[in-house]
Amino acid sequence: MRPISYSDPLAPLLIRNELFSLLPAHVPRLTVVCIGSNRINGDSLGPFVGTLLENAYPDHLTVIGTLRQPVDATNIRRVSEQLQNEHKAYVVAIDSIVGPRPFVHTIAIRPGALSPGTALGKSLPRIGDMSIMGVMMEDSTDVSALSYTNLHIVYQMAKVIAIGLTLTVRQRYGYSSSAPLFA
């Protein structure tokens, strides 16, 4: 897992490449679960990504979690149960996290589920077949500082992740390279 700087001009392509290397060959569609709050800047990465992707490529991309309808601690158990009933769903979970100083403002992609809420000491269900995590702040910082995270950085990181995902969907499912990135 190599961290990708959100400000790297090649970040969307690096995300696409990483997703391609981790996606199984025969995934008929992707379900993207965008976890986070629409009330806390540093925790809004997921809902921003979901909002950007909301109507993009509906034949191959299902988006759960937007700024209008976030997936957060109040409803993640229901969403997790819903996904368990969808046997063919390949789930990419997106969330903001805290991490060591050298990784702040980077994006990490790895196989396997992520555990939302751990920085806040919450015990929430693990979710996803693959995880995309945006490191918002240093893990030694008081988590109440998440409210004051620079929203510009959150939005730019969300845009990079959303573009990386749409590039993946366009290439994986044979869309024209002239197809719009977002709906």
The DSSP annotation for 58-72 comes to TTTEEEE--SSS-B-
**Side-chain half-sphere exposure of 34, counting CA atoms within 13 A:** 27
In this prediction, residue 183 carries a pLDDT of 67
In this prediction, residue 8 carries a pLDDT of 97
Residue 112: which pLDDT band, with cuts at 50, 70 and 90?
very high
Domains of the chain: residue spans and CATH: 4-172 (3.40.50.1450)
In this prediction, residue 122 carries a pLDDT of 81
pLDDT of 127 > 80? The answer is: yes
Q: Which position has the higher pLDDT, 52 or 139?
A: 52
Sheet holding 30-34, edge to edge: 4-5, 106-111, 130-138, 90-99, 30-34, 61-64
Residues 53-106: tens digit of each pLDDT: 999 999 999 999 999 999 999 999 999 999 988 777 899 999 999 999 999 999
In this prediction, residue 107 carries a pLDDT of 98
Contact indicator for 31, 65 with CB cutoff of 8 Å: no
